Structure 1
Amino acid sequence: MNLVAESLGFATLVGGWLVLLFALGLAMKSAPWHKVRNDRPAQNVWLGMTLIVFLVWQFSAQIAEGISFHFLLMTMMTLMFGWQFALFGAWLALIGLAFYLPTGWEAIGINALFMALLPIFVTEVFVKISERYLEQNFFVYVFFNGFLAAGVASVLALTTGGLLMWVNDVYSLAVLKQVFFPFIPLMAIPEGFVNGMLMAALIVLKPNWISSFHDRTHISGK
């Protein structure tokens, strides 16, 4: 879903931009630039995935005015490129959306907060948990880091979006309970399935595109 600036309060819009700028600053400082600086194929893959995210975020299923659903794909972006480049891609996608959708430039920050930053954070947490407590193999990677992480991220992101609409008086809590919150689990399952299946396909076809997957760790000797 994409929140529209006109329906949001000043504090929400400013707060979203402050969080986004802080996160972008951290990402710029910590991103492994040496891995992509002279790697044109890697740059093209990242740009291609960013374009796909932009296109996916344009098309959504609308169930009421101002309430719509679409895939996030942030778990896949995070697993492929790391949280920094996933955030850069989401930021560019949101800038592009500001040209094509009536969300407004002011809403880029708050949309990035729950559509990108929250799913990226959830995915990073799942990856750390799997590395520390679970056996490293193909199935754990796909089902835990891909399917489950994406599903949980979708639930938290959409719930946050719903709460933001409530806090900003876009819709009352009673209306959201009727036309928004019940659909969140129905989106979480396909979100997890799509991310998990795409990661499985990439592991088979293009494992070199996935920065967080390593044959020696997840496949060799398993």
Structure 2
Amino acid sequence: MNFVAGQFPLWALWSGNALALGLLALAATRVRWRALEARAVNAWLGACVVLLGFWLGRAGLEPGLSFHLLGATVFTLLMGPWLALLALAAVLLGLAAGGQLEWPALGLNYGLSLLPGVALTALLLRLAQRYFAANVFVYVFVNAFLAGAAGMLLAALCGLAALALAGAYPLAYLLENALPYYVLLAWSEAFTSGLVLAILIVYRPHWVATFDDARYLDQQ
């Protein structure tokens, strides 16, 4: 979703921006900067450019209701949740600089569109590592495919709820006209996330920060 600032009260915009800045500051302190591998960082920067293109190719239904891939699951698995939060924020800043997003609404776009996917993907990864066998299929299907779909749906529900509470659109309209599109888009997010991670762990596993050869391959 690409929220429009005029759809929300001023206090919501300021609160969203403040919370986003606080989260980014926390993320910056949690990343182990000296441990980052140069080749992986270059690949992650390329991922930001690709995601920027996906967001530019969005389709829209009404102001504030747009449909595009989020990339939150892929970024979280590639970089880890903390660095993913920073990278996704950089993508949003690039879109705002290009006039594709409104600056006052950046915090809400970040907190309602991207944060849910990152948080859910990180949670599912922890649960899978704790309760499931260390299996490549589990990593791709659960942590990439299913997490991608669930992250998209969660972000959609958060965004639609925010629009309804702000009075931008009636809840019935959002559920009837917007939610079905996000359900369909969730499958695209799931397929893309699963395919990208499956290819990367085969050909470039060192780019995937959350994939450990010793855990997932040596035990097969």
Query: Does the CA contact (< 8 Å) of 2:39 and 2:207 recur in 1?
Result: no
Are positions 1:141 and 2:170 aligned together?
Answer: no
- Structure 1 residues not aligned, in runs of 5+: none
Q: Which residue of 2 aligns with 1:115?
A: 113
- Give, in whole Å, the separation in 2 of the partners of 1:121 and 1:216: 25
Letter in 2 for 1:80: L
1:143-158 mapped onto 2 (5 Å cutoff): 143-158=141-156
Equivalent residue, structure 2, for 1:8: 8
Give the whole-Å Cα distance in 2 for the aligned partners of 1:42 and 1:207. Answer: 10
TM-score under structure 1 normalisation?
0.94
Answer whether contact 1:61 1:70 (CA < 8 A) is retained.
yes
State yes or no: 1:165 paired with 2:163. yes
Distance, in Å, in 2 between the alignment partners of 1:116 and 1:181 is 17
Partner Cα distance (1:102, 1:71) in 2: 15
Q: Identity, % of aligned pairs?
A: 33
- Match in the other structure for 1:124: 122
After TM superposition, list the pairs within 5 Å mapping 1:166-181 onto structure 2. Answer: 166-181=164-179
CA contact (8 A) 1:4 1:102 kept: no
Match of 1:77 among 75, 98, 101: 75
Contact 1:74 1:119 in 2 (8 A): yes
DSSP-derived class of the 1:86 partner: helix
| CA RMSD in angstroms, aligned pairs only | 1.4
CA contact (8 A) 1:5 1:103 kept: no
Q: Using the TM superposition, name which of 147-156 and 98-107 deviates more.
A: 98-107
Q: Residue in 2 aligned with 1:26?
A: 26
The equivalent of 1:62 in structure 2 is 60
Match of 2:216 in 1: 218
Of 55-64 and 129-138, deviating more is 55-64
Mapped to 1, the partners of 2:167 and 2:133 lie a distance apart of 46
Of 96, 99, 102, the match for 1:98: 96
Relative to 1, partners in 2 of residues 1:220 and 1:115: Cα closer, same or farther, differing over 3 Å?
same
Contact 1:17 1:110 in 2 (8 A): yes
User: Which 4+ runs in 1 deviate beyond 4 A?
Assistant: none
- Match of 1:62, SS? strand
Q: Secondary structure at the match of 2:210?
A: coil
**Contact 1:4–1:104 under 8 Å retained in 2:** yes
Number of matched residues?
A: 220
Please, what TM-score do these two structures have when normalized by structure 2?
0.95
- Distance in 2 separating the partners of 1:54 and 1:5: 21
- Structure 2 unaligned regions, length at least 5: none
SS at match of 2:61: strand
- Mapped partners of 2:143, 2:81: distance in 1: 14
Residue 44 and residue 102 in structure 1: after superposition, are their counterparts in 2 closer, same or farther (change >3 A)? closer
